Amino acid sequence: MLNTSVRLSWWSTSRQIIEEEERVWFEVAEDENHCSTCASRIRHVKWKISKNLVDALFEVRRTKYWRTTFVWVKKEEWKDPIILLKEKLELPILS
């Protein structure tokens, strides 16, 4: 199972990817009320989900200091989680 941080080409901070048995989680942003950048990132990912008809779900998780918005997509057997997110959500993941 994968639990790693990745960089995206036009995002200033790294994001967490968590692989579970049936799904892959991607850290989109802090709470959408945090700032306009976070709200924009969440809208962008929601648009990609809608455009690509991806079966996905958003969840806000509370961490020690803030609320973070994650999206999960159903895991596909034999597909690398990073490649899955790149394809389904069209995310510019670098590493």
Where residue 71 sits, what CATH number does that domain have? Answer: 3.30.1360
- CB atoms < 10 A from the CB of 62, how many? 9
The answer to whether position 42 is within a domain reads yes
Per-residue pLDDT at 27: 92
- % of the chain residues with pLDDT over 90: 36
Query: Is the pLDDT confidence value at 34 over 90?
Result: no
Which structural domain range is residue 22 located in? 3-89
Query: Is the pLDDT confidence value at 92 over 70?
Result: yes
Per-residue pLDDT at 18: 92
Chain center to CA of 65: 19
Residue with tokens 């790294």: 14
Per-residue pLDDT at 25: 93
> pTM of the full predicted structure?
0.85
What's the structural domain count of the chain?
1
- CB atoms < 10 A from the CB of 72, how many? 17
The answer to whether position 78 is within a domain reads yes
